[in-house]
Amino acid sequence: MPHRGLAMLLAVALLGGISLGAGQRAEAQPGSETLTISQGVDADTLNPLGTPVTTTNNVTYQIFDGLLAHDPAGRLIPALATSWKQISPDKWEFKLRHGVTFSNGDPFTSADVKFTVEKLQDPTFKSGKANYVNTISQVLTPDPYTAVYVTKKPVAVMPGRPFDVRIVDAKYWKEHGDAYMADHPIGTGAYTLKEWRKDDHITLVARKGFWGGDAPIKTVVFRPIPEAASRVAALQTGASDIITNVPTQNADQIAKGKNTKLGEVRSDRVLFIAFETEKPGPQDNVYFRQALNYAIDIPAVIKTVLRGHAYPLQNGPLPPNFVGYDAKLPSYSYDPAKAKELLKRSGVTLPVDFTLWSPSGRYNMDKEVAQAIAGQLSAVGVNTTVKTEEWTNYVNDELHKNLTPMYELGWGNTTFDADDTLTALFTHDYPLSGWGTPETDKMIAQARSETDPAKRAELYAKILGMVHEQAPWLFLFEYQDLYGITKRVNFQPRSDEQINCHDITWAKP
């Protein structure tokens, strides 16, 4: 999800789709050499520095590369950088790959790395990924094939998220300006843009001479299909080869299909409902927020809505494999009597009407989960109505704090470290955060710079203890991602939800 200032970038993307080729609707058909992928929503922008939204990244990451990458097991591997090391407490050196060019022929050098980081840091650009580089004070370029990240102070996590930040062509960007990048992407990646028809399809074609080897699949179409049933139908008829967010009620059907198979993986994405605690209303009352956490039965929602394809959040907002997770921290559990007791203590007059905002089609069964939660809250006197919005508008309204008093959101953290989650979602001056205090803000920053693992763990335990006590979320679950895949395709889902088209191949007959 986006962070600072994504609204401006979304507005640019919404000015209209760009067509660089034929205007036919692109669909896969049996025997076609085109791979069609259907997510629930279209890309927000094709500017890789604009937004951290996963569905957008799954398009832009085909066109652009990072210095590093994650393999399917989450291990760091070389990409535009062939090696990397920490050369002093505040310096990280990256040796860059020789002979790489952008798709327009411009050579890739350390100047492009420096420009990319400085563009993300530029307050006038208002990048949604600005926090990725907030520990970097400067980028040194001692030669065209060496880049050095200098941090403001020693940090516990590799700075600059070189596996997430995609490097852009400095020369091309300077020639054309910020707005042009939203729909005219030029990268070093395996694919280039042929056509974008907004909310219909994005067509990519493989580059010849890609530094990582030419992609086996020459044409890829991203065709958004918001309605889950329509995505399933597209898979079954061959109109799509890969679909995301398979409805749980269709999982067995797809797994046993003549021409389809089911891909399953435990995701690093958590789903939650956030309170806008800084807006007036019952949600600014800590006892009210705690009460609502006791009023919801998450195992029952997982069983009935997701048919078991999720894992309840325990001990706070982090999955158990993350740095900072502490199994000793407390959890909320279903206790309607305690919920009613806390509601009485809150002083909120019941019944009270409440709104829960939810996307529709962005996450698996997102609206249905929200409706189930609303029913449980209504049972304790908080009469909850679910309202939905189209995804791009939803993101924009969230950034402007318009989704009051509470809203559903998912968060995927590819660092597997508490810092990314806590900085973006629990630091009070970040757009996606509806709660924070000066004390926790200070501790989050302190933990980011603490290089002693034991002291860092102690800081996170204190922070997460305060998060539990203050209950700025309804803590829901971690997803098990479900993909529908045609049998003509070899595709292995990843826990970070990244789709790397270069790694997808046609199945042998």
**CATH (domain of 408):** 3.10.105.10
Reported confidence tier of residue 263, pLDDT bands at 50, 70, 90: very high
Q: Residues 215, 336: one domain? A: no
Residue type, 198: K
Residue 166 — φ and ψ, nearest 5°? Answer: -95, 135
**What residues contact residue 481 under an 8 Å CB cut-off, 6+ apart?**
244, 245, 263, 264, 265, 266, 267, 269, 364, 493, 495, 497
* Residue whose token pair is 């195992």: 299
Radius of gyration, CA atoms only, the chain: 23
Reported confidence tier of residue 334, pLDDT bands at 50, 70, 90: very high
C-alpha to C-alpha distance for 373 and 370, rounded to whole angstroms: 5
Model pLDDT, residue 429? 81
Whether the predicted pLDDT of 30 surpasses 70: no
Model pLDDT, residue 19? 35
pLDDT in tens, 443-457: 999 999 999 999 999
DSSP-derived secondary structure letter, 351: S
Q: Residues 271, 215: one domain? A: no
Q: Residues 204, 297: one domain? A: no
253 within some domain: no
Model pLDDT, residue 1? 42
pLDDT in tens, 191-229: 999 999 999 999 999 999 999 999 999 999 999 999 999
Model pLDDT, residue 245? 95
Q: Residues 345, 365: one domain? A: yes
Scored b (16 or more CB within 10 A) or e, 94-103 reads: bbbbeebebb
Whether the predicted pLDDT of 28 surpasses 60: no
434 within some domain: yes
C-alpha to C-alpha distance for 431 and 439, rounded to whole angstroms: 18
Domain tally, the chain: 2
Average pLDDT on 266-289 reads: 96
Q: Which of 313, 270, 298, 272 is nearest to 481 (CA)?
A: 270
**CATH (domain of 164):** 3.40.190.10
Average pLDDT on 291-318 reads: 97
Whether the predicted pLDDT of 120 surpasses 60: yes
145 within some domain: yes
Model pLDDT, residue 509? 81
240 within some domain: no
Whether the predicted pLDDT of 39 surpasses 90: yes
Reported confidence tier of residue 24, pLDDT bands at 50, 70, 90: very low
Residue type, 497: E
Whether the predicted pLDDT of 311 surpasses 90: yes
C-alpha to C-alpha distance for 242 and 495, rounded to whole angstroms: 16
Model pLDDT, residue 488? 97
Q: Residues 204, 300: one domain? A: no
Higher pLDDT pick, 342 / 1? 342
Q: Residues 360, 392: one domain? A: yes
Provide the CA 298 distance to its chain's centre, in angstroms: 22
246 within some domain: no
Model pLDDT, residue 20? 34
C-alpha to C-alpha distance for 62 and 201, rounded to whole angstroms: 15
pLDDT in tens, 373-427: 999 999 999 999 999 998 889 988 998 899 999 999 999 998 899 999 999 999 9
Model pLDDT, residue 131? 87
419 within some domain: yes
pLDDT in tens, 52-109: 889 999 999 999 999 999 998 889 999 999 999 999 999 999 999 999 999 999 999 9
108 within some domain: yes
433 within some domain: yes
Q: Residues 492, 476: one domain? A: no
Q: Residues 272, 181: one domain? A: no
Q: Residues 313, 360: one domain? A: yes
pLDDT in tens, 185-200: 999 999 999 999 999 9
pLDDT in tens, 122-158: 999 989 898 899 999 999 999 999 999 999 999 999 9
**What residues contact residue 477 under an 8 Å CB cut-off, 6+ apart?**
270, 271, 298, 301, 302, 306, 310, 311, 312, 313
Model pLDDT, residue 31? 53
Q: Residues 125, 214: one domain? A: yes
Model pLDDT, residue 414? 87
Angle at which helix 336-346 crosses helix 286-295, to 10 degrees, equals 160
Mean pLDDT over the full length of the chain: 92
Q: Residues 438, 494: one domain? A: no
Whether the predicted pLDDT of 284 surpasses 90: yes
Residues in the chain: 509
Domain residues for the domain of 138 are 6-220+488-506
Q: Residues 358, 451: one domain? A: yes
Q: Given the DSSP bridges, would you call strands 81-88 and 76-78 parallel, antiparallel or unpaired?
A: unpaired
Q: Which of 359, 354, 403 is nearest to 374 (CA)?
A: 354
